[in-house]
Amino acid sequence: MFTTQPSRETRRCPDQPVKTVCNDPDKSVATDQLSSDTLVYQSPYGHACCPHCKSEFDLAAAKPTFLEQAPHKDVVVYIMCPECHAGYQAGDGVARKSMSDKCFINFKLNSIDSEGAVYPWAITTMLTMELNDFDPVAAIENGHGLTSDQYFGICAGRYEVFVLLGGLRIMTAKPTTSEAA
């Protein structure tokens, strides 16, 4: 029914965007929605693909490698596999630029195909990291859980998020200048 999945031993992610299937039914693609030629890739929980070398790796011990300012005032967080992360940290400016350019190309040009298949990159945003207590596994697996309006509203400064004891988060609209008067 499906083409073969990469084995965990090869640690190689697919070469093209794929319909991802995960353990959360709200995030999964129903198998009856897939054609017989659709490549399905299911990485183990807490794993993602390095945006530089495309290897699958465990995010549990991963650290953000570099950041990029997004036009909507959030910050994109790129997390490379341990080998690429070490190479990036040890590299000079030219090597870092080359590695980050490859990540940009993979993420921005090769992430989603015309049918909506998504490549499972180890990339998130600073807001998503903040909403997941700066845990890269939770940020990538859970996302931010916001609607588009809420997400872009927070980025634009129209909403604030308060974290209370116990991790409860409350989002409130900031008063406008006419409401404050």
Q: Among 128, 152, 153, 154, which Cα is nearest to 142's? A: 128
Largest Cα span, the chain: 63
Kindly report the backbone phi and psi dihedral angles of residue 180, in degrees, each rounded to the nearest multiple of 5, phi listed first. -75, -20
Parse the chain into domains and list their residue ranges.
19-145
Using the predicted structure, report yes or no on whether residue 121 has a pLDDT greater than 70. Answer: yes
Q: What is the 3-state secondary structure (H, E, C) of 4-56?
A: CCCCCCCCECCCCCEEECCCCCCCCCCHHHCCCCCCEECCCCCEEECCCCCEE
Q: CA 26 to CA 72: how far, in whole Å?
A: 26
- 173 three-class SS: strand
Q: What is the dihedral of CA 56, 130, 127, 173, to 10 degrees?
A: 150
**pTM of the predicted model, to two decimals?**
0.71
- The residues, any chain, with a CB within 8 Å of residue 171's CB and separated by 6 or more, are 146, 150, 154, 159, 160, 161, 162
- What confidence tens digit (pLDDT) does each residue in 56-78 have? 899 998 999 999 999 999 999 99
Q: Does 159 or 13 have the greater pLDDT score?
A: 159
- The residues, any chain, with a CB within 8 Å of residue 1's CB and separated by 6 or more, are 31, 36
- What confidence tens digit (pLDDT) does each residue in 14-33 have? 555 454 443 333 433 444 44
H/E element, 69: strand 66-69
Structure confidence at residue 133 as a pLDDT band (50, 70, 90): confident
Question: How open is the CA angle 42-112-26, to the nearest 5 degrees?
Answer: 50
